[in-house]
Structure 1
Amino acid sequence: MSVTRVPIQPIKKGSMLKLWLGIFIAVVAAAALAWASLRTLPAVETTASGLQITTLEAGEGPSPVDGDVTLVSYEGRLSDNTVFDAAEQQAMPVSGVVPGFSEGLKKMQKGGKYRLKIPSELGYGATSPPGSPIPANADLTFDVELLDFKSEAEIRAMQEQMQQLQQQQGGPPQGAPPRPGN
């Protein structure tokens, strides 16, 4: 049996420099990609009260205030990711929910999607809501989409228009007793 020997060619001058330059460029490119991906993570805003708000998708326009009623889709989770409540197109008065949720609603804009991390003292605190799976002193996380909001005056005006329309179409006036047999 014979062994064939293949001579190894010597490395050309400048080849090592090109190899190291290529490695350097690859490292710089990887670092730039890593830095760019960190910049695309959503920013978390922590308010003075301790509420954490993450903007997942920015909305547009003004934010609701205490006298407004919002229309939201949301999912509420406990710290172990157990979903305790969820709703599509739920009407909620800004001032009629737990303090942390109310504070979060006032920072949202129509069409936006947000994550609220509500510490227990801004949620239900040391008491558990009756009949609820939320334990006492539970921190809550909500993913919320603000679909729309209107002032209470706008909602009352819309209700009055609906009542007038119903009366014009022959419906019973509001507060009238039901007809016999109904």
Structure 2
Amino acid sequence: MSVTAVPLQPIEKGTLTKLWIGVGLVLAAGLALAWFTTRAPGDLSNASASTFLAWNGTNNDVETTPSGLQYQVIRPGSDTGATPGVNDVVVINYTLRSLDGEVIDEGREATLPVGGTFPGFAEGVQLMTPGARYRLWLKPELWLPEGIEPGTPRPPQLPIETTEVMDFDVELVEIISETEMMQRLMEMQGGEAAEGAVPVPPPAPPQ
């Protein structure tokens, strides 16, 4: 049995080096992309609210409303189209974090009147349908209580500084209409509610 020898062509000097450099550049580009997309929130955690929100708003999956509220749909809700109104009551699961990821407060099955929360939170919840999970970013003007301006010393009742962004993870469990809430309270009290009484279910998110 004869074997035919196939002559190997000599590799041009520097070809392998160029090949490995090319592979290295591709890997480096991938690592750089991953690094930039994951590092920014941490690096910007101490930045001003405007600086962070300007960066955050450039992400493709983050929407910004005319008021400046930013939100991300983590999980869409039911397709019934039902969203809460300002006079409704909602049952939610929520987690409040600082921009560096520290959990500041959280609640499960929390019941609260939409109109009784701060403006940015109320706006965000009214975009959701039951079962939805959103992430909300509120600039100071959208969560600070009336009479407190951004940059003023933080009162003891506030969970973060008056210059910071509130970062909420919110899941809408249930919408309860004002009428239904009144009926539930009547059943709990075993009688009729006073005419014109307005139910005030606790608790609201921290302010």
Place the TM-score, normalised by the shorter chain, in its bin.
Answer: 0.5 to 0.7
**Is 1:153 matched with 2:179?**
yes
Query: What CA distance in whole angstroms lies between the structure 2 residues aligned with 1:89 and 1:129?
Result: 27
Report the CA distance between 1:129 and its aligned residue. 4.8
Deviation above 4 Å: which 4+ runs of structure 1?
none
**Is 1:63 matched with 2:83?**
yes
Q: How do 1:87-126 and structure 2 match up within 5 A?
A: 87-124=107-144, 125-126=149-150
Deviates more, 1:118-127 or 1:108-117: 118-127
Change (3 A) 1:129 1:108: farther
Change (3 A) 1:42 1:129: farther
Number of positions where the alignment pairs a residue of Structure 1 with one of Structure 2: 131
Other structure's SS at 2:190 match: helix
Partner of 2:189: 163
Report the CA distance between 1:159 and its aligned residue. 1.5
Give unmatched runs, 5+ long, in structure 1: 1-5, 11-40, 166-182
Report the CA distance between 1:67 and its aligned residue. 0.3
Larger Rg: 1
1:71–1:146 contact (8 Å) kept in structure 2: yes
Equivalent AA in structure 1 for residue 126 of structure 2? K
Equivalent AA in structure 2 for residue 50 of structure 1? G
Which residue, out of 137, 143, 147, partners 2:169?
143
Deviations 1:111-159 (A, max 9, x none): 0110001111111252535334311111111000000011122111112
Give unmatched runs, 5+ long, in structure 2: 10-58, 192-207
**Is 1:80 matched with 2:100?**
yes
Q: CA RMSD in A?
A: 2.4
1:112–1:146 contact (8 Å) kept in structure 2: yes
- Percent of aligned positions that are identical: 36
